[in-house]
């Protein structure tokens, strides 16, 4: 098949197309090329602004990558279905078009300089506080953008944000609103309650086969086996390339040098006495230093002299002790002197801070592992990097082999690996690492694999592992037989009967004289689940309010709300700021949503079938 492709690529029509591509690349870049092929394929229109299929597909792919990047293996595979992603992408593009058109109508604009400034200051593109071009390119590639397309997207984002900021900035909070929130938050409620256990009721609930069959017949749609697939797959790991790479002695020596240079450095424990020269003349400072040296020579202790004479308030009360010092942590003259001394020696030096009398207390010598001790580890590290690079370099060939055949045998043979087969799995994924991977699930239920019966694209499992899959078998969604579904049916029927029985008991307990109520006085908001439910009940007027509430575990709680004590409006400054921030954010969100709804209702929006 590859030879057929090569043969057909020599035709005059192909050469004309290739020539067109080259000219388009040279004059306008890749974005213009993509648009030239698809710009007329419209999927929606907003007040005359077209939304193309290319934009939709790119938006869907960006969402897919973002979901996988943010949630990894925890992403719900249903969110990665193509129709779901495309529908969400169109909705987002329509909302963006509405806001963009509004910004244009208001004569708002964004300059290239603003976009560049934003990108240069964005923390996600920085390393050690500076813009990192490699990180920037890697990020936009991960989203499927070219640099030009990404800058245009950012320009539109900034433009849209101008209108949103204007709406949010117009919101304000009045004092009475803060006081109302404070009063509600500090409110207290007194109530009585009694609980009814669903687990106990379920245990004592009996059901007949007739009840089960009747429920099954009425709810067959609830007892379906999900749509499932089984796939063949070829996994290629970086370790599969070990026999194709070698580690040379020169590489090992270079790696060891890099290790040794970054290994722990020698450190020196020092004390010093600082004579400040900014508040003294040079002669006065030298005289004071000479006085210290004389006393030291006479046998006085260095620590005592530091406490008496040193102008370094950070160390003088500790006898001048500076602790262990590594190279690069002090000013050069101090450091050069210290690392040229012998243990116990005392020397003086002048720096921009003044005159120092330094005493070297101890030396902690760096212990660097020998080449022989590190060789095995370095070999493994280099081998891992080289095999990873080899896998990276093989991606294009893997993709070509997968695309050129409608089976996996050629790919498996090329790299000396086996074609493996998975167990059946649904759109929610399987139980192993491969079939629970969101990208694999998305590919398995995508049109290329499921409908066209072709190999998937190359799928990244990790930096060291890629996979290509092919459909082995597909089982449609089907209704389970009563026998197969009986256990699940029983669970549903028992649950329904138990809940109904509990509700009847709870209703009867409202007026029963023997109800054993538990009293709770002056409960504060959020102290437990029952209290939280009590705070959802209306104020009692002349009589207590009694309601049945459902707890998170399925149990029922009969709650009798007796009294509501108003809260205080007095709050701390930090609480007040928190309430104001919450109200501002809430009102800004509501105003933004209302504006978006107004724009949508006022616009002429047309959608075409996907």
Whether 264-364 and 228-247+379-479 are alike in CATH topology: the answer is yes
Residue 17 or residue 562, greater confidence: 562
Handedness of CA 279, 280, 286, 290 (dihedral sign): negative
Q: How far does Cα 176 stand from its chain's mean position?
A: 39
pLDDT tens per residue across span 18-70: 344 344 443 334 444 344 344 447 888 899 888 888 888 888 888 887 777 77
Residue 33 or residue 579, greater confidence: 579
How confident is residue 607, by pLDDT bands cut at 50, 70 and 90? confident
Sheet holding 346-351, edge to edge: 321-326, 267-275, 354-364, 346-351
In this structure, CATH architecture of domain 228-247+379-479: Roll (3.10)
**Contacts with 460 (C-beta within 8 Å, 6 or more apart), sequence order:** 439, 466
pLDDT tens per residue across span 258-306: 888 766 677 899 999 999 988 889 999 999 999 999 999 999 999 999 9
Two tokens at 211?
A: 């009840």
Say which DSSP state 270 is in: E
pLDDT tens per residue across span 240-266: 999 999 999 999 999 888 888 766 677
Backbone angles phi, psi at 226, to 5 degrees: -70, 160
Backbone angles phi, psi at 471, to 5 degrees: -65, 130
**Contacts with 262 (C-beta within 8 Å, 6 or more apart), sequence order:** none
Q: Work out the percent of the chain whose per-residue pLDDT is above 70.
A: 91
Instruction: State how beta strands 42-46 and 49-52 pair.
Output: antiparallel
Kindly report whether the global pTM for this prediction surpasses the value 0.75: no
Candidates 3.40.50.11890, 3.40.50.720, 3.90.550.10, 3.10.50.40; CATH matching 264-364: 3.10.50.40
Judge whether residue 96 has pLDDT over 80: yes
DSSP codes of every residue in 542-579: SS-EEEEEE-TTS-EEEEEEEEEE---S---HHHHHHH
CB count, 10 Å around CB of 342? 8
pLDDT for the residue 2: 37
What are the extents of the domains in the chain? 1-34, 187-201+481-565, 228-247+379-479, 264-364
Distance CA 376, CA 579 (A): 60
């Amino acid at each position: 098949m590859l030879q057929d492709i090569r043969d057909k690529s020599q035709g005059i029509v192909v050469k004309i197309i290739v020539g067109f591509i080259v000219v388009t690349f040279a004059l306008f870049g890749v974005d213009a090329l993509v648009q030239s092929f698809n710009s007329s394929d419209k999927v929606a229109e907003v007040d005359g602004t077209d939304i193309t299929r290319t934009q939709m597909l790119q938006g869907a792919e960006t969402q897919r990558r973002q979901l996988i990047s943010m949630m990894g293996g925890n992403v719900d595979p249903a969110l990665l279905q193509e129709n779901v992603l495309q529908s969400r992408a169109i909705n987002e593009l329509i909302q963006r078009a509405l806001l963009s058109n509004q910004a244009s109508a208001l004569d708002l604009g964004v300059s290239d300089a603003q976009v560049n400034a934003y990108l240069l200051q964005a923390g996600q593109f920085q390393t050690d506080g500076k813009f990192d071009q490699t990180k920037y390119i890697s990020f936009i590639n991960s989203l499927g953008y070219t640099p030009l397309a990404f800058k245009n997207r950012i320009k539109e984002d900034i433009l849209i944000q101008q209108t949103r900021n204007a709406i949010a900035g117009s919101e304000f909070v009045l004092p009475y609103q803060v006081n109302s929130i404070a009063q509600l938050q500090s409110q207290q409620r007194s109530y009585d309650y009694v609980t009814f256990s669903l687990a106990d009721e379920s245990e004592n609930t009996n059901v007949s086969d007739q009840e089960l069959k009747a429920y099954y017949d009425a709810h067959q749609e609830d007892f379906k086996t999900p749509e499932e697939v089984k796939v063949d797959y070829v996994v290629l790991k970086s370790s599969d390339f070990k026999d194709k790479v070698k580690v040379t002695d020169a590489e090992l020596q270079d790696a060891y040098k890099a290790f040794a240079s970054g290994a722990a450095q020698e450190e020196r424990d020092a004390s010093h006495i600082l004579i400040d020269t900014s508040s003294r003349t040079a002669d006065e400072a030298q005289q004071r230093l000479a006085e210290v040296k004389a006393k030291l020579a006479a046998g006085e202790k260095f620590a005592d002299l530091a406490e008496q004479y040193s102008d370094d308030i950070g160390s003088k009360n500790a006898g001048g002790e500076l602790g262990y010092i590594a190279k690069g942590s002090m000013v050069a003259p101090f450091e050069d002197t210290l690392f040229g001394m012998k243990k116990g020696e005392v020397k003086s030096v002048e720096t921009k801070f003044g005159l120092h009398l330094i005493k070297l207390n101890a030396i902690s010598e760096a212990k660097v592992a020998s080449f022989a001790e590190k060789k095995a580890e370095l070999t493994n590290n280099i081998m891992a990097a080289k095999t990873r690079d080899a896998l990276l370099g093989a991606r294009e060939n893997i993709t070509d082999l997968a695309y050129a055949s409608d089976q996996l045998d050629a790919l498996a043979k090329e790299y000396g690996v086996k074609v493996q087969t998975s167990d059946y799995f649904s759109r929610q994924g399987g139980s192993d690492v491969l079939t629970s991977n969101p990208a694999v699930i998305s590919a398995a239920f995508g049109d290329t694999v499921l409908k066209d019966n072709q190999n998937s694209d190359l799928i990244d499992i990790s930096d060291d592992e890629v996979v290509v899959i092919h459909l082995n078998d597909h089982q449609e969604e089907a209704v389970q037989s009563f026998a197969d579904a009986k256990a699940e049916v029983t669970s549903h029927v028992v649950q329904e009967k138990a809940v109904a029985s509990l509700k009847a008991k709870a209703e009867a307990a409202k007026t029963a004289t023997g109800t054993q109520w538990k009293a709770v006085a002056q409960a504060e908001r959020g102290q437990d689940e029952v209290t939280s439910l009590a705070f959802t009940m209306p104020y009692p007027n002349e009589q207590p309010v009694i309601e049945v509430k459902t707890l998170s575990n399925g149990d029922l709680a009969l709650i009798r709300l007796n009294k509501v004590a108003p809260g205080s409006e007095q709050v701390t400054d930090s609480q007040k700021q928190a309430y104001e921030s919450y109200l501002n954010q809430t009102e800004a969100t509501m105003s933004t949503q209302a504006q978006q709804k107004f724009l949508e209702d006022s616009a002429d929006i047309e959608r075409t079938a996907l």
